[in-house]
Amino acid sequence: MQQKTEMPTQAEMVEWTTQLQQAGEEYCALISEALGQMMPPGLSEAINEDMREKLQLGAESLMADPARLWQVQSGLVQDQMQLWQHSMRGLAGESVEPLITPSRGDRRFKDDAWSQDPAYSSLMQQYLLFSKTVDELVDGMEGMDPDQQRNLAFYLRQIVSAMSPTNFLATNPEAVRQLVETRGHSLVNGLAQLRHDLSNSVAGGLNVSMTDRSAFEVGRNVAVTPGSIVFENELIQLIQYTPTTEKVFKTPLLMVPPWINKYYILDLREDNSMVKWLVDQGHTVFLISWRNPGPEQGDLTWADYMQMGPIRAIEAIEQATGEKSVNLLSYCVGGTLAASTVAYLTSTRRGRKVKSVTYMTTLQDFRDPGEIGVLLSSPVLDWLDEEMAKTGYLDGRSMAYSFNLLRENDLFWSYYINNYLKGEVPKPFDLLYWNTDSTNLAAAIHGWYLRHMYVENRLVEPGGVELDGVKIDLRKVSAPSYFISTKEDHIAKWNSTYYGALLPKGPVTFVLGGSGHIAGIVNPPHKNKYGYWTNDELPETHEQWLEGAEAHEGSWWPHWQNWMTSNGYADADPKKMVDARQPGDGQLDILEAAPGRYVKVSIPEIIGEAQASP
């Protein structure tokens, strides 16, 4: 017997009306603000120029093979006809197998309605069939070079991802359900959250809230490994961490993190902190905390970052410990700088200052930068140069927005749906807090880095890069090197990082970790996750390396530690171990407690100071 639907009460009707009225007012205000927050005209024109060019090339490729275009289109029409028939049968109550299902890992359609409700199922399949057709057309295009095809695929993927029915209130079953159950409150809350995020975004992109930022504070519950600032200059603060063992390895360890985002990805909390783990293993750990640059740092070059960063830190470590050499442990662009530094020291007869160097997900050979290359077309680079010349830096939120678009469904649209369509409050998550704690990028170094490394790939050329009048050559580096890359990295793809391992003349160990750019590196042993691959040989190609590699379970950290100790780089011989070094014991005084001032400076603070300056 059909259940009778209860009529809403007068109070419920009033609440519904009030909520919808508030939602309407909020929507109008939001659209007005969003229109003024759209992509800056210069950048929009630059990207549109590249997009128009790639779309034109794609159209020419399709028209050159009309038979294939007809075949793909006919296939889509046939699939749509079959889907219509299946939908009619489903609406009639029959159980029908879907024509297409989401790929493994696609979490957009996880709600039961997408598989159990015939209308939603049909909508999902129609979208997936269209998406598959676009992929087939791009994959089969001829007459385009790989970079052009990559750019076209990226632009089309962004368009197709934006068209997903999950991104619209009326066609998202979870959002509709939330709207009904909350009597409109979810929509009002979502629009208010969107207004908030727009007000905290850089012009040209929407930086969606990924976590409850109020739940974290640097130095309170992230970046909490005990230590002290023992040196600082205009660009860095040098942290010396407090030892936890009675004896330590003789050779200190200097960590060189990237300056894109902040160092504490390596020191989030106690149970996943690489810094703490290294200290507990017996290393005397020093770490560079980069300054969040403002206009006054706009002229700093790659050579300045090298001299004021790793080289000055090595000198300070000698003052603190008396040791004339260090082991370097570097990450991402910090690794690219470390490679430049070791090559520079080698060319200036100071190569022995580095006993060994480790590169974590580091590009030295930029032959395949991945989809980041889409954002480096000549028109976009020209626009970046013009904008950075005005301010002295690139607002780090722009970089964060760009990186999110490399995995748009996981790092943009999923939060868009939860925050704005469903009106949910982001949950506390330390990794996402770090991800949204952006840093600016100084104009001179950033523009130089993009052109010399990503576009021209000059670091791999002997003498291709000159620093302070010295032409460097990675092939002359004799310091032992350890490369750790990750299999699913979309920022520093391992099929490019591998070729950096073929450059040094010294002994090289290459290891491939599981997972991606962050999780594959920040992978503490006690979690026993992801695994890694090793191969004693370094064949000519990354494919050959993987074919001969041996798989291992768990974290790569113990493998690295064994590499350091068994080869003598850390001076792990008990006879060579020294008493634990406390910050302030040497010639350097303690300036303040870790994590220090530099890491706590936010972009809004820098912008506010710049705007207040005469």
- For 259, the 3-state DSSP assignment is coil
Q: What is the DSSP string of 370-407?
A: GGGGGGG-HHHHHHHHHHHHHHSEE-HHHHHHHHHGGG
Residue 141 has φ and ψ, to the nearest 5°, of: -70, 140
Q: What angle do CA 594, 597, 602 make, to 5 degrees?
A: 125
* 518 closest CA partner among 430, 402, 388: 430
For 3, residues 6+ apart whose C-beta sits below 8 A from its C-beta are none
What's the gap between Cα 233 and its chain centre?
A: 28
Would you put residue 584 in left (φ > 0), alpha (ψ -120 to 50) or beta?
left
Residue 115 has φ and ψ, to the nearest 5°, of: -105, -25
Cβ 328 vs Cβ 254: under 8 Å: yes
How far apart CA 289 and CA 254 sit, in angstroms, is 11
Active site residues: 332
Cβ 257 vs Cβ 266: under 8 Å: yes
Q: Is the dihedral of CA 603, 606, 608, 611 positive or negative?
A: negative
Q: What is the DSSP string of 397-431?
A: HHHHHHHHGGGHIIIIIHHHIIIIIS-PPPPP-HH
How far apart CA 591 and CA 584 sit, in angstroms, is 9
How far apart CA 399 and CA 603 sit, in angstroms, is 13
16, exposed or middle or buried, with CB in 10 Å at 0-12, 13-18, 19+?
middle
How far apart CA 399 and CA 446 sit, in angstroms, is 11
Enumerate the β-bridge partners of residue 248.
578
Dig out the tokens for 395 from the structure.
Answer: 């607002």
15: number of Cβ within 10 Å: 15
Cβ 342 vs Cβ 119: under 8 Å: no
Dig out the tokens for 313 from the structure.
Answer: 């830190």
Dig out the tokens for 20 from the structure.
Answer: 């919808």
Identity of the amino acid at 90: G
Dig out the tokens for 36 from the structure.
Answer: 């003024």
Q: How far is CA 511 from CA 272, 381, 539, 593, in A?
A: 20, 33, 13, 35
Dig out the tokens for 580 from the structure.
Answer: 């634990």
Q: Which residues of 75-95 are buried (b: 16+ CB within 10 A; e: fewer)?
A: ebeebbeebeebbeebeeeee
Residue 288 has φ and ψ, to the nearest 5°, of: -85, 125
How far apart CA 510 and CA 359 sit, in angstroms, is 10
Strands 227-232 and 481-486: unpaired
Cβ 258 vs Cβ 332: under 8 Å: yes
Identity of the amino acid at 193: Q
